[in-house]
Homo-oligomer: A and B are copies of this chain.
Amino acid sequence: MKKITIVAFDKFTDVDVFLPWDLFNRVRLREKNWSVKIVGSKEQHISVTGIPVPTHGTLEECNSADVVFFASGAGTRSLINDPDYLKRFKLDHEKQIICSMCSGALVLAALGLLGGISATTYPTVIKELQSFGVEVEDKPLVVHGNIATAAGCLAAVDLIGWVIEKTLGTEIKEDVIASVQPVGKGLECIY
């Protein structure tokens, strides 16, 4: 069973949790041995627009996951200054795929996962990310081994596509990504 965790927190950007959540769940239409959970430090987190999302598990679930995805949003700023929060993660980029959207890259940096590699992030976050010594690239998706950062909400499609291809291969990736394209622009039904 492949285990995917999406890390949410208070003041997350709605689309940066729910678009990856929807895309990752579509995989189950092709591969049943695939579990997706939204995890966090509370029983529910509230998005920046006020949408509550119940979590399916704790942050510690990330430590045994195959894929750990950090969402984005204003809430990342308090996480990176909270040592008790950060020390709950025991991630291993040799064994796990670890990725982020936009300001989620700050959490990767605070966890020491971006040492010596470049990353991408939302333009307003570039200076904060550089303050960790990270070289920031002006690209939608930056990949180094098992670590990937994406930026600009719709770049989630590229990022999740990359994760699916790396874990399950090209065919399932193409099926999932085609299933959300506009009619007449590549849409293929998956169900």
Name A's B-contacting residues (CB within 8 A): 13-15, 18-19, 21-23, 25, 49, 51-54, 120, 122-124, 138-141, 150-155, 157-158, 179-185, 187, 189, 191
Q: Beyond A124-B191, A189-B124, A191-B124, is A151–B14 a contact (Cβ under 8 Å)?
A: no
Distance from A26 Cβ to chain B, minimum over Cβ atoms (Å): 9
Q: Which residues of B contact A185 (CB under 8 A)?
A: 140, 152, 155
Is there contact, CB below 8 Å, between A138 and B183? yes
Write out the residue numbers on chain B whose beta carbons fall within 8 Å of the beta carbon of A21: 14, 49, 51
Are B22 and A151 in contact, with the CB atoms below 8 A? Answer: no
B180 contacts A15, CB within 8 Å? yes
**Shortest distance between the CB of A126 and any CB in chain B (Å):** 10
Q: A189-B122, A191-B124 are in contact. Are A151 and B182 (CB under 8 A)?
A: yes
Contact A183:B13 (CB < 8 A) given known A49-B21, A52-B54:
no
Q: Which 6 A-B pairs rank lowest in CB-CB distance, beginning with the nearest? A: A140-B182, A18-B18, A155-B182, A152-B182, A15-B22, A153-B180
**B182 in contact with A158 (CB, 8 Å):** yes
Q: Which residue of B lies closest to A191 (CB)?
A: B124
Given known contacts A123-B189, A151-B182, A152-B185, what 17 new A-B pairs fall within 8 Å (CB)?
A14-B22, A15-B18, A15-B19, A15-B23, A18-B18, A18-B22, A123-B187, A138-B183, A138-B184, A139-B183, A139-B184, A152-B187, A153-B179, A153-B181, A154-B157, A154-B180, A154-B181
Closest to A156 in B: B182
Select one of B14, B123, B187 contacting A18, CB under 8 A: B14
Q: For A155, list chain B residues within 8 Å (CB).
A: 182-183, 185
